[in-house]
Amino acid sequence: MLEEPYRWIEAVRNRREYLEEQLSSGSPVVALPYQDGILMATVGGGTSKLYEVYDQIAFGGLGHPTDLEKLRTAVLELAHVEGFNRSPADVNLQRLIKFGIAPVMKQAFEEILHAPFISKLLFVELTHPSGQPLFVKLDYDGLFEENGKFGILAPTEEIEKKMIAYLRSQEETRTLSLKPVLQIALRTWAVSLHPVPPEGAEDVLPVSSEIDRLLKEKLDHFTPEIALLDKTIPGTSKFKALLQDEIQPRIREWLR
């Protein structure tokens, strides 16, 4: 098969369709900067989707849980061996992605006789060497995209566009405190629940009350998951997963 380019391209195309379909029902992940660092948010059925990678690096993912675990282990080992052999200061997101995990995902995707990773990942770094936060989205085919302002990981391109459009309609989050940023993040997540209009029809963003209604309905059955990279935490590790006791009071006030 491999000596016939057309069949290889066709196989890759089929694989892409398969992966898009597999990922289409995943729960999005939103990452936003705030005054003390970076907030990551998602809503799920109880299994954690937001993970600590290294002192200032975390990630969220959607896809097959086993594949997420494999990738998580791979990136953890890379980061820790690197941080031990050199210095924690030498572990940064760009190097982990470009020389570590992205080539692994690309290779798995293109080796059509082996299974690909059914996963998309969103990495965040509290302080990129430039001094600013960094958000990197990594697709199942190894394609990565950097962003200095926010991170959105959505199951489909349409949903992603809609979430980004909503986020852009909100105020700049960089200087906000935790509570308003949590609100914006969860509302951005809830925009993904708004139905995609039929082909040809204009896609209009839902109003706030509609977004809150969608979110509330979802939270009746699913759990919000929030993780922070908080630069005010003493010591080298800045990751903190918020407990439900810490999340619920912050939501209850505005989501009645």
Partner 1 sequence: MNNGDFWTLLKKSGYQFGSTLNMNSIPGATAPFPVTHGTTILAFKYQGGVLVAGDRRATAGTTVMYDRTDKVIDIDRHSVMAIAGVPATAFEIARIMEHTFKYFRRSQLQELSLDGKVRALSRLLKENIPMAIQGIGAVAPIYAAYDLSKKEGKIFFYDILGAEFEGVEFAVSGSGSPAVRGILHYENRWGPQPLSRVSEESAIVLTIRLLETASEFDSATGGVNIEAGLYPLIKLVTATGTREISLDVLENLFSRNIKSNPIRS
Give the x-and-dash track for 62-101 against partner 1 (CB under 8 A): ----------xx--xx--xx-xxx----------------
Q: Does 125 bind partner 1 (CB under 8 A)?
A: no
Q: Does 235 bind partner 1 (CB under 8 A)?
A: yes
Q: Cβ closer to partner 1: 47 or 209?
A: 47
180 CB burial (10 A radius; 0-12, 13-18, 19+):
middle
Q: Does 234 bind partner 1 (CB under 8 A)?
A: yes
Q: Which stretch binds partner 1 (CB under 8 A): 52-60, 111-119, 150-158, 204-212?
A: 52-60
Smallest gap from residue 79 Cβ to partner 1 (A) = 9
Q: Cβ closer to partner 1: 55 or 141?
A: 55
Q: Cβ closer to partner 1: 83 or 180?
A: 83
Q: Could you give the count of Cα atoms lying within 13 Å of 84 in the half-sphere of its Cβ?
A: 6
| Whether 222 contacts 43, CB under 8 Å | yes
Q: Does 18 bind partner 1 (CB under 8 A)?
A: no
Q: Does 46 bind partner 1 (CB under 8 A)?
A: no
Sequence-separated (6 or more) residues with CB below 8 Å from residue 177? 34, 35, 36
Smallest gap from residue 52 Cβ to partner 1 (A) = 5
Q: Does 195 bind partner 1 (CB under 8 A)?
A: no
Q: Does 53 bind partner 1 (CB under 8 A)?
A: yes
Smallest gap from residue 103 Cβ to partner 1 (A) = 18
Smallest gap from residue 143 Cβ to partner 1 (A) = 26
Q: Does 45 bind partner 1 (CB under 8 A)?
A: no
| Whether 196 contacts 158, CB under 8 Å | yes
Smallest gap from residue 190 Cβ to partner 1 (A) = 27
Smallest gap from residue 234 Cβ to partner 1 (A) = 6
Q: Cβ closer to partner 1: 49 or 120?
A: 49
Smallest gap from residue 235 Cβ to partner 1 (A) = 5
Binding site for partner 1 (CB under 8 A): 48, 51-55, 72-73, 76-77, 80-81, 83-85, 234-237
